[in-house]
Amino acid sequence: MSRGIFNSNNKTTEVFTFKTNSDSGTTFDPQISTNSGGSNRRVHIDYGDGSVGYETGPNFSHTYSDNGDVKDVKVYFGDFDNIIALNLSTDDIYGTLDLTNPSFKNCYLFALNSNSLLSGVTHGYNPSNMTQYYLYSCNITGNHDMSMFPNLGGDFRMYSNPNLTGVTHTGSSQVFTQYYLYNCDITGNHDLSMFPNLGGSFSMRDNLNLTSITHTYSPQVFTEYYLYDCDITGNHDLTMFPNLGGNFQMYSNKFLTSVTHTGSTQVFSSYYLFGCDIRGNHDLTMFPNLGGGFYMYGNPLLTGVTHTGSSQIFTYYSLYNCDITGNHDLSMFPNLGGGFRMSSNSNLTGVTHTYSPQTFHSYLLFGCNITGNHDMSMFPNLGGNFQMYSNTSLTSVTHTGSTQVFSSYSLNNCDITGTHDLTMFPNLGGSFIMENNDNLIEVLHTASTQSFITYNIGDSTSLLNVDISMLSGLGRFVQIDYCPSLTGVTFPQSTETFRNVTGSDNNRAFSMFNTPNVDYIDFKPLSGATMDVNSTYGCTIDIRSHGMTSGEVNRTLVDFEWITTNNPTGWSGVTLDISSNSVPDTTSDGYNGISAISTLTGTYQWTITTD
């Protein structure tokens, strides 16, 4: 706030009285600015503790010596009609502030904020063009009457008054740059229909008992419209704002069923309408510059959202946990990117995209009913967290080349059929899960040095071969179990660490049981890896029920002996379950399995279960 220029005259015929409990630890510094006069004009102030002051400038400063007793302050001035600005912010104003006698009718700037014990302010009629009204972070209680300000506008702030239940206005044609009335207890409907030039930054968020707002037409540009965490009920009509844009946030209004807009060419940097009760189709075809963060998730009765073309960049598009039905068309967004999430829409059968050069750090489309092929060949910068699991009618996903790093790739519990091509992803890594795809025959990879924390392709009854020799970052947990058609597994050269994820059979470091057509598995490429036997659940290699002959069991045991002898630090103490195969012996296929068991369990402290 500009302090302005202070002048007074020598008359002291009018007195302004108020209370303060300012103490010895704070500075009491009210400011009063006037519009005219000479240097001989003076203000006399009685601080209420026996001290007085005379000032010709706008600034007073006094430090009390008590511990916060309530004092009556008296300000003597010749003509209060000359005062244009009153600043009592952070001055420990106490109780109710009476500004009706003498009148401050020409004051266009009130800064009364940050007085935690100020419970009320009463005004007289004031025709001034009000440019700044600050009454925030106080304890204004009940309804605050501002019907005496016919030219209110500019910067209005009354936020953070937890006991403020209402504000009454009168008509004003002034332009508002800010209207802040958040973190209060505004109750019921708040009438703003008297402001035809409302705009700029508008915030009435965090009023838990606010059920509606009544607006009138305004041509002003809105850069912010915040009305979240309230109790807005039914339809919220915003058709009177043709220049709505910027940050729009109306989330967490659990009884809000719809929002009605009119056309606006303003750019949106956010559109938040999540956690409400929006129903049916939500029409946004009037916004050709929608972009930034779009969040409409958590509207369980929302069946569709209709867009028009926009070239704006999307940093997030979030429409999950709704009831989006059929195909969702996003072909009008050539700059979709960042985070994309439309998961948990059980009636969503498809999503149509267009080419976008933007980088995706997440693409989440799980728990839907995506059907047939899902085309993603238009995204050359797909990466990060990719999850399309639990789409039981999804038969294929088409990708294009991307050098982005993947932290996860989940396509489990679908109906992926035939060969799934991932040779276009040289930075695949993290968690890879494609289990429970009964018609999956093969997955094709290209070389990747990214670290894997999970490679899970089990429970796929048609899977024929698993060649992961090009994934040198393979580590932690490998699950290739319950694959009755599988004939071979090829491991990479890896120096990563493996461990059991939980105590479950299905979460062992190597869960590779019940694959009866896979006999011998060569673990030697993993000889440089580390088996983390000291982790919470240890480190287990589970290769039960592989239909191994005694010779194949012998060879596998001899391989483990060779690996551990050459890398005792990384491989000592491993748990091996090779049961439900043939019994090892000393001679089959020229290998001595019994001797290998003796060395592993004796010298290297392995725990081995055989038949």
User: Left (φ > 0), alpha (ψ -120 to 50) or beta: where does 166 sit?
Assistant: beta
SS3 301: coil
Non-local (6+) Cβ contacts of 68 within 8 A are 21, 22, 23, 92
Q: How far apart are CA 209 and CA 223, in angstroms?
A: 25
Which segments of 10-151 are extended strands (E)? Answer: 14-20, 31-34, 43-46, 52-55, 71-77, 83-87, 93-99, 109-111, 118-123, 130-134, 142-146
pLDDT tens-digit readout, 150-184: 999 999 999 999 999 999 999 999 999 999 999 99
Of all residues in the chain, the percent with pLDDT exceeding 70 is 97
Element (H, E) at 340: strand 338-341
> Are 73 and 48 in contact, with CB atoms under 8 Å apart?
yes
Q: Among 206, 149, 159, 193, which residue's Cα sits nearest to residue 179?
A: 159
Of all residues in the chain, the percent with pLDDT exceeding 90 is 92
DSSP structural state of residue 67: S
Q: How far apart are CA 78 and CA 86, in angstroms?
A: 16
Tell me how far CA of residue 59 lies from CA of 95, 117, 313, in angstroms: 23, 23, 49
SS3 222: strand
Cβ-based neighbour number of residue 10 at 10 Å: 10
Look-up of token digits 């035809």: 196
> Are 575 and 540 in contact, with CB atoms under 8 Å apart?
yes
**Distance, C-alpha 175 to centroid of its chain:** 33
> Are 172 and 191 in contact, with CB atoms under 8 Å apart?
no
- Mean pLDDT, the chain, rounded, equals 95
pLDDT at res. 10: 42
Q: How far apart are CA 518 and CA 542, in angstroms?
A: 13
pLDDT of 96 strictly over 80:
yes
Token duo for residue 23: 């103490």
pLDDT tens-digit readout, 136-154: 999 999 999 999 999 999 9
Name the β-bridge partners of 62: 28
Non-local (6+) Cβ contacts of 226 within 8 A are 182, 202, 203, 204, 205, 247, 249
* Crossing angle between the packed helical segments 593-602 and 550-566, to the nearest 10 degrees: 40
pLDDT at res. 84: 92
pLDDT of 8 strictly over 50:
no
Confidence of residue 95 (pLDDT cuts 50, 70, 90): very high
Mean pLDDT throughout 44-50?
92
Confidence of residue 12 (pLDDT cuts 50, 70, 90): very low
Confidence of residue 59 (pLDDT cuts 50, 70, 90): confident
| 102 upstream amide cis, omega within 30 of 0 | yes
pLDDT at res. 56: 66
Token duo for residue 200: 């700029």
DSSP structural state of residue 589: G
